[in-house]
Every structure is written in C-alpha cells, then in structure tokens.
Amino acid sequence: MANLEYVGNYINGEWRLPVDREVFNSVNPSTSEVLGAIVLSNSTDVDEAVSAAKQSFRAWRLVPAPKRADYLWLLAERVQERRDELAKLMTLEMGKVISESYGEVDVVIQFCKYMAGEGRRMYGQTVPAGSPDRMIMTVREPVGVVACITPWNFPLSLAAYKMCTALVAGNSIVWKPASDVALCAKLFTEIIDSCDLPAGVINTVFGSGSTVGSQLAEHPDVSVIVFTGSTEVGKKLAKQAGYHLKRIALELGGKNAVIVLADADLDLAAAGIVRSAYATSGQRCTAASRVIVEASVQQALEQRIVALTRKLQIGNGLDADVHVGSLANNSQLATVQRYVKIAQDEGGHILCGGHRLVMEPWQTQGLYYSPTVITDVQRHHRIAQEEVFGPVLAIITAQDYEDAVAINNESVYGLSSSIYTNSLHYANRAARDLESGLVYINNGTSNAEIGLAFGGLKQSGNGHREVAYQAFDVMTEWKTVYTNY
C-alpha cells in the first residue's frame, strides 16, 4: 500500500494531520480494494476546527450576502471543471453507477447556483407600523458555527445542500463527512479551498461519528447541527442538541411506498417502481421499499415488475452498461441479507433476487446483491415497517384506495409516497391524505428537484426542510428592527 493516500483535516484554510495516528480505510465496495485512509480525529482536532470557524464568523457575517454568494458561483464553476474526477471517485468509493454519480455532481453545480441566487433574496418582511414616523421590519441573521454531518449515500450533494445554505446565510461551517466516503470529501474540500474563501469559514474534520460527530453536537461553540443519516443517530443528536439548546435539522430514514390503483397505467407504474427501488442499490432515503397494490391488478403488476427487475445489469458502477452497482459497505450487505431472511420467515415469497451475487473473477470481492422482489407481505411484517436501505421491494395487497392510504400511513416514517392512478379524484385525495413530506403522482418515490422543500414527516425528520430556501429557518435567526424617524 505504498501509494495509499492519507487524508488529514482541513482547518483554518490549511491541511493538518490529526494529533492521533489511528486510521480508517476507505474501500472500493465493488472490488474491496483499499483506496486511501483517513487519520481519525480526536477532541483536540474538533476544538481547533470549531475555534477556526468561530473566529472566522466575526468577519464573515459582515460580508454582504451577494458577495458571499459570489463564492458559490465560483464553486459551481470549479466543480464543473472537475466533474469527471468527482463522478469517478464517487463510484469508486461507494459503488453507485457512474451515471448517477454524474447526476449528483450536476445537482451540486445547480444547487450552488440556486443558493447563490438567495444571496440577493433571503427575504424578510416590512409591514405597516402602528405608530407614526416608524419603520418596522424583520431581517435574517446568521447564527454562528454550523456543524454539517453527512452520510455516504450522496457524498457530495447532501453536504452541498447544507454547506451552501449555511454559507450564503453568513454562518461558518465544520463538516464531518461519513468516513466511508472520505476521499470524495477530501476532493470536494480541495475544490472549496481553490475558491479562496476566508480561512476558517469552511473546515472539514474526518473521524468516526461516535467521536467527532458526537463532540461537535456537544461543543459549546457549535450553534446549529444539520444531519442526514439514520433515525437512531438522529435521535441521539436531537437529545444532545435539546440539552444544549442548539438548533438541529434532521433528515432521516423512510419506508417509502408506491400505491398502485386498479385504473393505473401498469407499465408506467412498474417502470417507476423499479427505478426508485433499485437506484443507488436502494440506498436512498427516498427509495421505494413498499408497493401497495389493489388486489385486482396485483398479479399483472408483479409480472411487469419482475420482468423489468430481471433485465437489470448488476456490476461495477464504472461500467456504463451496468444499471445497479454494489452496496456501499459490509454492514449494508449484512443488513440486506438479514432482512430478506426475516421477510421469508414472516411468510413472504421471493419473486426474484434474494441472494448475494458473485461476479466473474475480477469483481469477486464486490458487495453485490440481486434486486429482490418479495410478495405476500402483510402490513404488520417487519419488512413492511422497517427501513432496509437496500435493493429489496415488499409487495402488500390493498382492498381499495382507503385501505392503501391507511397502509401507507401505518409507517413510523413519512418521507416519500407515490400513487399511480388515472383518476383526478384519487390523485388529489392522495396528495392530501398521504402522510409524507413528498408526494408523487404517476412517478416513483425519488425524483426531487432543487428549489422545493425536501424532508419528511414523523420519524423521517424533525420538521425542517432542505434543498430550498426553507432551510434558512434553521440556519438563520429572525431579528425584528423598529426604527422611529
């Protein structure tokens, strides 16, 4: 491992190796090749990063927002210049197919531009004053140091959503990326560094979530925590934030469902279901993991889903012909295997998939799992209730529209739901009745766009939204100003 790349932290505008020398390997899940290693940080490193961010905040908050936004335009250009490098590294490091990686890089570029536009908006209010010769208004003000804690499934976009919003609002940032995608995070940080932001405005600290992430949440000088990841960790962070009276925005899991009514276009529905079930190997918070179908069309729909699923090419995501890449790490593979077994023990029947795939010979170490469809799932089964985060689809029978909506809403999660129907009546009722932050009509469960609030109800989050200006609600304070003239 002579050429192994060691990744240190980026603090106050410079790269520093942490004081400890314990390392974590970043592994290509398609080949099990070690790509690089991060040096794990400890509390001293976290203190240094937070201190740099706190220091830089004093001047950064006074930079006019349109000028702060100029850095985001520049970042968009720099990301565009290194688009190929970023996309390839993403596929190497976490296994998603290269077309998806390019899609993610493009989202980052678009989001930088969208948020740069907010530099000239971030509207407050002016309202008529009740007293004479008086002006009254509200303005948004930055809060301070924002800790961004991000997962491995979208290594760049989930970080960009948080950091660009924090930045244009005038906050400074400490980013703790997921260790599994440390090299992506390092490359993105290098690109950020090339934009010549004032030192300390963005700092990147590598290390495990249970140490670095937790220390950030406890740190007295961190004012805001924005997190995407598991519900379990989200709850821990919410407890810590609550105790210290910090602001926190949580983007958590889902058990997303596609409802298919008897009048639906079944070909369209099957295509949408398969796309949203198996993109990123099902490792998306918005992945479809339940199909709730009216009994009269269940068999016809299942046939179509299985036929499309069997056509999917599984393999190394760098191969342009591959539709579904590997899982991201061993723990994901183990979880998928465990849940497929649980589903069978509960009485579910596998229509296709249901096993690990061993590829020919150069890919034998890859973490491939065949896209899996399970039928005869009952609404109370664990496979119908718990997030798998893998390429596993559970099919549940509904008696009618009301029953389908009730099954959808029985989940503790409420991120994304979809309905296929040609009825204007049922489509509009579904938009009203589905307990989800995102509702799609005649589309799968994951196809969100920049500029609209993204986030979930119930245990999919804590009421905050990102990917749009609504994210300012956690990233800024309202100040009300009264001027008597």
| Binding-site ranges for ligand NAP (CB under 6 A) | 149-153, 176, 178-179, 208-210, 213-214, 217, 228-230, 233, 236-237, 251-253, 285, 335, 387, 389
Determine the residue type at 465.
R
Taking the complex as a whole, the smallest distance from the CB of residue 147 to ligand NAP amounts, in Å, to 9
Give the phi and the psi of residue 66 in degrees, each rounded to 5.
Answer: -60, -30
Assign 3-class secondary structure to the chain: CCCCEEECEEECCEEECCCCCCEEEEECCCCCCEEEEEECCCHHHHHHHHHHHHHHHHHHCCCCHHHHHHHHHHHHHHHHHCHHHHHHHHHHHHCCCHHHHHHHHHHHHHHHHHHHHHCCCCCCEEECCCCCCEEEEEEEEECCEEEEECCCCCCCHHHHHHHHHHHHCCCEEEEECCHHHHHHHHHHHHHHHCCCCCCCCEEECCCCHHHHHHHHHHCCCCCEEEEECCHHHHHHHHHHHHHCCCEEEEECCCCEEEEECCCCCHHHHHHHHHHHHHHHHHCCCCCEEEEEEEHHHHHHHHHHHHHHHHCCCECCCCCCCCCECCCCCHHHHHHHHHHHHHHHHCCCEEEECCCEECCCHHHCCCCEECCEEEECCCCCCHHHHCCCCCCEEEEEEECCHHHHHHHHHCCCEECEEEEECCCHHHHHHHHHHCCCCEEEECCCCCCCCCCCCECCEECCECCCCECCHHHHHHHEEEEEEEEEC
Which one of ligand NAP, Mg ion, none is in contact with 417 (Cβ closer than 5 to 8 A by kind)?
A: none
Taking the complex as a whole, the smallest distance from the CB of residue 311 to ligand NAP amounts, in Å, to 27
Task: Specify the residue, 209 or 437, whose C-beta has the smaller distance to ligand NAP.
Answer: 209
Task: Specify the residue, 153 or 408, whose C-beta has the smaller distance to ligand NAP.
Answer: 153
Taking the complex as a whole, the smallest distance from the CB of residue 26 to Mg ion amounts, in Å, to 5
In angstroms, the CA 53 to CA 201 distance is 6
Taking the complex as a whole, the smallest distance from the CB of residue 225 to Mg ion amounts, in Å, to 24
Taking the complex as a whole, the smallest distance from the CB of residue 151 to Mg ion amounts, in Å, to 12
Task: Specify the residue, 80 or 208, whose C-beta has the smaller distance to ligand NAP.
Answer: 208
**Using CB atoms, what's the residue nearest to ligand NAP?**
209
Which one of ligand NAP, Mg ion, none is in contact with 437 (Cβ closer than 5 to 8 A by kind)?
A: none
Q: Is 27 in the site for Mg ion (CB under 5 A)?
A: yes
Could you tell me how many residues of this chain bind Mg ion (CB under 5 A)?
3
Task: Specify the residue, 78 or 176, whose C-beta has the smaller distance to ligand NAP.
Answer: 176
Task: Specify the residue, 241 or 274, whose C-beta has the smaller distance to ligand NAP.
Answer: 241
Which one of ligand NAP, Mg ion, none is in contact with 253 (Cβ closer than 5 to 8 A by kind)?
A: ligand NAP
Taking CB under 5 A as the rule, which mask of x and - marks residues 55-94 in contact with Mg ion? --------------------------------------x-
104, 251, 294, 387: the active-site residue: 251
Task: Specify the residue, 183 or 285, whose C-beta has the smaller distance to Mg ion.
Answer: 183
Task: Specify the residue, 142 or 456, whose C-beta has the smaller distance to ligand NAP.
Answer: 456
Taking the complex as a whole, the smallest distance from the CB of residue 125 to ligand NAP amounts, in Å, to 33
285, 294, 302, 387: the active-site residue: 285
Catalytic annotation present for 218: no
Which one of ligand NAP, Mg ion, none is in contact with 27 (Cβ closer than 5 to 8 A by kind)?
A: Mg ion
Instruction: Say how far residue 181 (Cα) sits from the centre of its chain.
Output: 13
Among 48, 100, 118, 180, binds Mg ion (CB under 5 A): 180
Catalytic annotation present for 285: yes
405 forms beta bridges with none
Taking the complex as a whole, the smallest distance from the CB of residue 99 to ligand NAP amounts, in Å, to 20
Active site residues per annotation: 251, 285
